[in-house]
Amino acid sequence: MNSSINYQELAEKIKLWGQELGFAQVGICDIDLTEHEEKLQAWLDNNYHGNMEYMAKHGLDRARPQAIHPGSIRVISARMNYLPAEAKFAKILKQPKHAFVSRYALGRDYHKLMRKRLKQLGDRIKDYCQEFEFRPFVDSAPILERPLAQNAGLGWVGKHSLLINPKAGSWFFLGELLVNIPLPIDTPADNQCGHCVACLKICPTQAIVAPYVVDARRCISYLTIELRDAIPKELRPLMGNRIYGCDDCQLICPWNKFGQLTQEDDFSPRQHLDNVELLTLFAWDEDSFLSKTQGSPIRRIGFECWQRNIAVALGNAPYDLSIVQALKAKREHSTPMVIEHIDWALEQHEIKAKQQIIPTNERLQARLIRSIEKGMPRDA
Ligand code: B12
Ligand code: SF4
């Protein structure tokens, strides 16, 4: 290594450059994740990854950054806020005929944006230090990003398994550079969840099966984004109007009162996705879906899963003839998987329609019985 480089000074510069490039915070840690190996294996052994084959494929390499990028000895971990102004969470979650799209997915896909900035950060470091080698990652590598960020002092892994920062909550993405120079490392953040279990309690599908352990197969984020097959019937009613991702465990987290808004215009909502009716989105055909979701993370789930998710949300909406008509119309030219979800939604509306009629009938019957009784002789 080049002894003329003052790594302490360089580490300070890196943090400053990171902020100039739009990162809310940058920290540095070593690559040792051995303490996570056993738990990661247990998570995989329990099949908590469901159909996410890429999780099982890389196995314990996720806890071994050097296996992904040989020669790495440090990780530069960075976080970027994504919450747009006026997030309108509660408002939309309370309106069952509106679509709830997770707040991270309202605007431009973060992967490209963050990777580009991380590459710019890497290039700046390279200009300063010739022997510097790096590889930027944002979700793109099988690597435990949250434990690394915790070790780099960016926050702690909360009971919902997401990284929480004491001054910024959890509404941020993570990304990192694996690097080959001996930068000084930061102090890992302390866990401050305490006795709070609000996220475990609020989760609509009870996906947080124990503190710090998420069974992805139950998580609405997995069901709406990662799963390519039919959504298990027993979980559908619990999904409400959430058609892409879920924010509930973060919404309830008391640390998110310190949540910070994004500085990136690119994360601003597109296509009014922060406040749009389910029927408007259900009316999109495949061409509209592809053009309207250009550059958005939503595009990667594809039109079929998009329709599947909206069909479930429509099934969860209160009875409405226009919803029933839209479901029936779409049924004519949908794939078998979407048809199955549409049929489920129609069944829900049949049940709701009956429930609306039955109470009226019961009331009428009761009135009828009362009037008959009144007109009847005492000994009848
Ligand atoms: C796969 C994945 C998912 C899956 C699985 C979630 C999960 N918890 O693993 C699904 C699709 C469900 C998902 C959902 C979401 N995700 Co996601 N996801 C990932 C991804 C690609 C990999 C995560 C991973 O490695 N999981 C494997 C498991 C084993 O990891 P783990 O949960 O940390 O495992 C530990 C615990 O299980 C614990 N453990 C296990 N057993 C036991 C037992 C005991 C006693 C204890 C104490 C601990 C313990 O030890 C394990 C090892 O450390 C990361 C990016 C990355 N490369 O890290 C993004 C990432 C974690 N996701 C992210 C986001 C934003 C989300 C959502 C909020 C999106 C949304 N709004 O819908 C939700 C949140 C749901 C939730 N509560 O987790 C962000 C999180 C940012 C942050 N602030 O932390 C990341 C980092 C992406 C990014 N680059 O920004 N995600
Ligand atoms: S994202 Fe939603 S479904 Fe997934 S663990 Fe959090 S609250 Fe539960």
Distance from CA of residue 248 to its chain's centroid?
10
Measured between alpha carbons, how far is 122 from 308 in angstroms, rounded to an integer? Answer: 41
Spell out the residues 6+ positions from residue 344 whose beta carbon is closer than 8 angstroms to its own: 233, 236, 311, 312, 315
Measured between alpha carbons, how far is 143 from 71 in angstroms, rounded to an integer? Answer: 16
Checking if the pLDDT of 2 tops 70, the result is: no
Decide whether any atom of ligand 1 lies within 6 Å of the 174 Cβ: yes
Torsion of CA 196, 202, 206, 209, to 10 degrees: -10
Tokens linked to 18: 């990171």
Decide whether any atom of ligand 1 lies within 6 Å of the 145 Cβ: yes
For residues 141-145, average pLDDT? 88
Checking if the pLDDT of 365 tops 60, the result is: no
**pLDDT-based confidence at residue 331 (cuts at 50, 70, 90):** very high
Checking if the pLDDT of 244 tops 80, the result is: yes
For residues 251-278, average pLDDT? 94
**pLDDT-based confidence at residue 378 (cuts at 50, 70, 90):** very low
Checking if the pLDDT of 4 tops 50, the result is: yes
Give all strands (DSSP E) within the chain, no chain letters.
25-30, 74-81, 100-101, 134-137, 156-157, 163-164, 172-179, 208-210, 213-214, 242-244
Residue nearest atom 58 in ligand 1 by C-alpha distance = 145
For residues 137-163, average pLDDT? 94
Mean pLDDT for the chain overall: 92
Q: What spacing in Å lies between the alpha carbon of 353 and ligand 1's midpoint?
A: 40
For residues 152-165, average pLDDT? 98
The ligand placed nearest to the CA atom of residue 44 is: 1
Q: Note the pLDDT tens digit of each residue in 202-238.
A: 999 999 999 999 999 999 999 999 999 999 999 999 9
For residues 356-368, average pLDDT? 51
Q: What spacing in Å lies between the alpha carbon of 242 and ligand 2's midpoint?
A: 11
What is residue 352's three-state secondary structure?
helix
